[in-house]
Chains A and B, each alone.
Chain A
Amino acid sequence: MSAIETSPVPIELAMNTASSGPDPVGQASLAEEALRRLNRAVAVYSRDGAVQFSNGAFDALLRQPAFASGLAALFERTLALHSVRSEDTPLSLGERRVYQIETVPLSHGVLVTASDVSAEMAERKRVNDEARTDPLTGLGNRLLLREQLAELMSDLTLHPSAAAVLTIDLDRFKAVNDTLGHPVGDALLRVVADRIRSQLGRGDVVARLGGDEFAILQVDPQQPKAAESLAARLVDLLGRSYIVDGNLLNIGASVGVALLPGDCADGDQILKYADLALYRAKSAGRGTYRFFEMAMDEEMQARHTMEIDLRRALALREFSLVYQPQVNLDTSRITGFEALLRWHRAGGATVAPSDFIPLAEEIGLINPIGEWVIRNACREAAGWSEPLTIAVNVSASQFASATLIGTVVSALAESGLAPERLELEITESVLMDDTQSVIDILHSLRQLGVRVSMDDFGTGYSSLSYLRRFPFDKIKIDQSFIRGHEAEGPGGSAIVQAIAALGRSLGMTTTAEGVETEQQLSRVAAYGCTDVQGFLFSRPLPPEKIADVILNNRAQPSEPPRKTNDTQGGDSL
């Protein structure tokens, strides 16, 4: 038989024996011995605090001052409240030992028991920490950052620039993941985490928010200086090359900074602000940092409402086309019109393409809008009394979408417009992305009979090589070479002359854009441009005015230019 009975039956037996009570003295001493030997610390105190009984485990604990004083406090409360457990505030003794003390009032004293809950507490802490740790890098996670932010924000005595939130985003990280695989990407993230950690002060909190996004809460009264120098160090350090698993890797980092509570006193909002600043850093060319400014938020809000409006603009028929004549210098006659898009936004404002086309591209609306433009322009031109050309701007995303040719074919069929009257204007940026497939599409369009012109020529990079890759019908010289300060200088005129000469030798029409004065007109004529377009001849016209203009299509330049809000420089559709 084993030394201690553990099954229920012997306990019943023991109780039976107790009730028949043959040997109370023997039982009491048995119980006392059991208590003495128990691992759990047990003591009985009299109500005035004198020890009546204690076992060895308890005596050992009592020798520790922290235990003794903790117990004394509890003892007082016990007498007042009957029963108390120190469950919520376990008593820590030394480094890792944590005890839970329980006191129970007896008829003539107080029973005190204490148990070692170190293991449970350690486990609880581990689970807690784990829930706040990013498993890949060992940094904190979003939960940790949120909690630390909330805690900091709850301090009302905070200096207005007590802290900063920095959000970090890696540039070109995706390429590493895509080309070398996730294991290398993950290993890189761990080194990045190490580098970030190496730059932090004691009170700083760093978290990986997901993917290649990190955030730091920097608590330092020297703001914004401290954040600025940390941001600069991070951009420098994270942008230095890495050797990971035998691969030499080059990535960069962009950083956004928001100050707290100066910029904002709300934990979630401050992260958004830092992200807005980060977005700015990225659009400023990456590898740099930006501080949040209130204007960024306002712009973002404005952009957001514009996006909502833009998404329903087609359905609400808020777009219209205006047409600007293009004039041949030899004959002084209009050869065609360029269709320009206008957005009459709810509320009355007319928005120029340069103000909404980039957004339309970003949110994937450029294709339906572009298609609407092609169809409407063809339909309008088909109704003209003379077979003049109609030029339509086509953006890079339309080329990328693979529906462009289909749209052109059906727009021509639907309107009955002769293909050679349709002229598609593309900018160099169209050719920059995926040149071969773009060239293929251009050839297919040409096969349909459609003309193709190079728009805004001179503003891109490698214009000449593009001219060689496709036989454009026309080069439109960007207006920055025609008017304005630089255009009038020797550099501007040399460029216009060179392009005109190039066009002549390649058999292409050269159109000078943005001609506003007689002086500019005689200059571009002297340089050898064949065609012109600009306010000097006409502003963009609404469709109902075109019929008359075509009727009067004579050689005369019109009235001197008028001041107008119609921008033509930003037109891209």
Chain B
Amino acid sequence: MTRPLYRLVYYSRNRIAGAPGDVAQTVQGILRASQRNNFEVGVTGALLFNAGIFAQVLEGRQDSISATFERIQRDPRHGDVHVLGFEQTSAPSFPNWSMAYLGRSREAENLFGSIAADSGFRPDSLESERIFRIMREIALEEESAAA
């Protein structure tokens, strides 16, 4: 019997301080650590961000999800974590780890856009599109709130 798959969706407030270039570098670092660690424990998902927020989907086995989430929770680079969903799922919606910059700010687009392009973010199922849409709405709302 295969063990059940869980999906966790949350968004949080971006607390990375500093000049845009430093922020980009920090985000880059988070992305790299995430790709490395998540691959090792079989966690897939997506991470969206802009100057205001992070939004993340994590999919994997229960123990991997809780260990990963626990580590993320202890990260001071973000705060006010709101969990939107934590449930069992039959198949992963984001089978390939991905990352996207989601914002309207031109400036930030130039800075962060390339990180997102590198990561080749592509929601590739109906479910992932739905989640993506919700996260996108939150992200854009929060970006203007942060501005």
Contacts and interface: CB of A to CB of B under 8 A. Distances in A.
Contacts of B8: 243
B85 to A, nearest CB: 9
Contacts of A313: none
Interface in B38-72: 62, 65-66, 69-70
Nearest to A194: B70
B74 A248 contact: no
A243 B65 contact: yes
A240 B81 contact: yes
Nearest to B76: A233
A241 B83 contact: yes
Interface in B1-34: 6, 8
Band of interface residues on A: 10 to 19
A248 B79 contact: no
B66 A243 contact: yes
A198 B86 contact: no
A243 B86 contact: yes
Nearest to B79: A236
A365 interface: no
B144 interface: no
A248 B62 contact: no
Contacts of B76: 233
Interface string A229-268: 0000100110011111010100000000000000000000
Given A236-B79, A241-B83, A195 B74 contact: yes
A233 B79 CA distance: 11
B74 A243 contact: no
Contacts of A241: 73, 81, 83
Contacts of A405: none
B59 to A, nearest CB: 13
- Most B CB contacts (10 A, CB to CB) among A237, A243, A248 go to A243
Interface in A181-213: 191, 194-195, 198
Nearest to A248: B86
Contacts of B86: 243, 248
Contacts of A233: 76
Contacts of A246: 6, 62, 66
A248 B83 contact: yes
Contacts of B83: 241, 248
B79 A191 contact: no
A287 to B, nearest CB: 12
Nearest to A191: B70
A243 B79 contact: no
A130 to B, nearest CB: 27
A198 B86 CA distance: 25
A191 B69 CA distance: 12
7 contacts: A198-B74, A237-B73, A240-B79, A243-B8, A243-B86, A244-B66, A248-B86
Interface of A: 191, 194-195, 198, 233, 236-237, 240-244, 246, 248
Shortest 10 CB-CB contacts between residues of A and residues of B: A243-B66, A248-B86, A240-B73, A246-B62, A241-B83, A243-B69, A240-B81, A198-B74, A248-B83, A236-B79
